[in-house]
Amino acid sequence: MNSVIKSVAYTLTHAPDLVIHAGTTQTTERIVNPESEYLVALPKALRKYEDAVNYPPNQTYIGGMTPADLEKISMPWYENGTKSDRFGKFGEITPQEELYLVMQICDCFDLVMLEASFAAGAAKQIESHPLFTDEIKARIKPGTEIAVIENEVKENGAEGLYHDNKLVGCVKKAHSIDENLSAHVILENLVSKSTSVISMMNLVKNSGINIASVDCVIDCSEEAVGDMNQRGGGNLAKASAEIVGFTGATGFDVRGFCAAPVHAIITAASLVKSGTYKNVIVTAGGSTAKLGMNGKDHVKKGLPVLEDVLGGFAVLISENDGINPEILSEYVGRHVVGSGSSPQAVITALVTNPLDAMGIKITDVDKFSPEMHNPDVTKPAGAGDVPESNYKMIGALAVKRGELDRTELPNFVTKHGMVGFAPTQGHIPSGIPYLGFGREDILEGKITRTMIVGKGSLFLGRMTNLFDGASFVVEKNSGTTDTGSISEEQVRSLIAESLRDFAKSLGGE
């Protein structure tokens, strides 16, 4: 039996000060051009937390509105936000203060120091948060005097943690000479871990799963965890699972640039289908390096710095329950060594090869989710509208194959695609952001089939010139399980239950 997409969570974390201090565009600029106009203009171009919450693409990512709702809002979206809630049906938008506290919670080596009054304020903030269990809160450590933190930053190579441009804490280096354990790397890894933890906390709520029944966690972010003897040694997955309290879970990491999440889901689906595990979570936290990646273009054009959030997600893949949408493990798309790197070779490998194996046409896939980069971010930066380009490529291939009339191409983009709404956090946009909506659309009978496509730029690591990518199809459940079929009545009651939960979450409970 195929495994199913049981539940999904998406979170964002607003991190404006990390844009300045940890985003590589900014850290590079400070080295090559320390007096630049950009660095002077940057702080004023950063958005407040409320603006990030009200920003329509962010609301879409956490499930506060659908991609169809977003499409109705005219661009630029940063000018057309409306008052919105921190919580959506899939997750939440965490403020920076809480992130720093979660980093301290996730720190198992006394490397994170927070100034006492800041730490107390953040701790108070999460007191009313419904998802922080007593076990998680018990990890909060007392704050430190600011003078000690200042000294760590000035004298001992610690990375400062800033809030509203004020030093409120630091991340210390974890080794005196090993650059893999430098303060910078530890900060990057702790942020990834923390945002993965926040996503999995939301997944526990969304799925209602008993935390003891999670068998395995797979982390598919882009960070390398390790020391000088094993750079990238890994298992951030297990480290994050420990904090959430998955005591019965093992874990491992899957890496593959922006394609890693799709590789990870394929892996998880097979592990469950084979019977090795019953419940596997695929998770990823966000990337500090990519904060403000296109900030120079945004500031130059008078836009706010839109890349001010860290992305995160968590997906629960479970045994077939006869209800939730199935992952078709036998028909995955893959870009292989010999596929070639031309755009048509890539799309053929990822899209049409698996569809040919299934004996269906491109137009038989109701929705494609290739790379859901937010065009509000990418267009002013000269990277175009990435999802739209992908839809055009898929449509163009359908034309070449005679499955679509050329004049139908614009319609294809609208009908089988959607607008991009994910932050440009590399692995985050790559296919996965639609999985939550896709699951619901299938459960509600709006669509029967979606294809999730991830692509990865392997050449950035300078080990190969190869491109990479993988895809999988998610389909309406056939309705049969190992123990028999499920009645329509049961399906209806499940849908009603999920709608009630959603209504509750809108009510702010």
Partner 1 sequence: MDLENQKRVKELSETHGAENVVVILGAAEGEASGIAAETVTAGDPTFAGPLTGVSLGLKVYHICEEEIKAEVDAGVYDEQVGMMEMVLNLDEIAAEMQSIRSQYTKF
Partner 2 sequence: MAILANKKIVAIGDRDGVPGPAIEEVVKTAGGEIVFSSTECFV
Determine how many CB atoms are found less than 10 A away from the CB of residue 245: 17
Partner whose binding site includes residue 429, from partner 2, partner 1, none (CB under 5 to 8 Å by kind) = partner 2
Q: How far apart are CA 406 and CA 399, in angstroms?
A: 6
**Binding partner 2 by CB under 8 A: which of 61, 77, 467, 472?**
467
Q: Which of 460, 496, 499, 503 binds partner 2 (CB under 8 A)?
A: 460
CA distance linking residue 339 with residue 351, whole number of Å: 13
Distance CA 107, CA 467 (A): 35
- Give the range of 75-83, 143-151, 206-214, 341-349 binding partner 2 by CB under 8 A: 341-349
Member of 142, 275, 302, 382 binding partner 2 (CB under 8 A): 382
Please, which residues have CB within 8 angstroms of residue 438's CB and are 6 or more apart in sequence?
5, 325, 367, 369, 447, 450, 452, 474
Write the binding mask 403 to 432 for partner 2: x where contact by CB under 8 A, - elsewhere: ---------------------x-x--x---
Residue 286 · residue 310 · CB < 8 Å: yes
Strand partners, 167: 162
In a 13 Å sphere around the CA of 226, the CA atoms on its Cβ side amount to: 11
Of the residues 75, 116, 323, 383, which one makes contact with partner 2 according to CB under 8 A:
383
Residues from 312 through 351 that contact partner 1 (CB under 8 A): 342-344, 347
Q: Which of partner 2, partner 1, none binds 279 (CB below 5-8 Å, type-dependent)?
A: none
Stretch that binds partner 2, among 153-161, 241-249, 271-279, 337-345 (CB under 8 A): 337-345
Q: CA-CA distance, 152 to 168, in Å (whole number)?
A: 12
What's 48's DSSP letter? P
**Residue 373's binding partner out of partner 2, partner 1, none, with CB under 5 to 8 Å set by partner kind:** partner 2
Question: Which of 254, 184, 132 shows the shortest CA–CA distance to 27?
Answer: 184
How far, in Å, are 60, 93, 436, 500 from residue 495 at the CA level?
20, 25, 14, 9
Q: Cα separation of 376 and 381, whole Å? A: 9
State the Cα–Cα distance between residues 113 and 158, nearest whole angstrom: 10
Q: What is the footprint of partner 2 within residues 274-333 (CB under 8 A)?
A: 293-294
Confirm or reject binding of residue 457 to partner 2 (CB under 8 A): yes
Examine residue 296 and tell whether it contacts partner 1 (CB under 8 A): yes
Q: Which does 409 bind (CB under 5 to 8 A by kind): partner 2, partner 1, none?
A: partner 1
Residue 485 in the binding site for partner 2 (CB under 8 A): no
- With CB under 8 A as the contact rule, the residue among 27, 238, 245, 459 that binds partner 2 is 459
- Indicate whether 411 belongs to the interface with partner 1 (CB under 8 A): no
What is the contact surface with partner 2 in residues (CB under 8 A)? Answer: 258, 293-294, 340-343, 371, 373, 378, 381-384, 386, 389, 424, 426, 429, 455, 457, 459-460, 465, 467
What is the contact surface with partner 1 in residues (CB under 8 A)? Answer: 28-29, 32-33, 36, 296, 342-344, 347, 382-384, 389, 392-393, 395-397, 399-400, 409
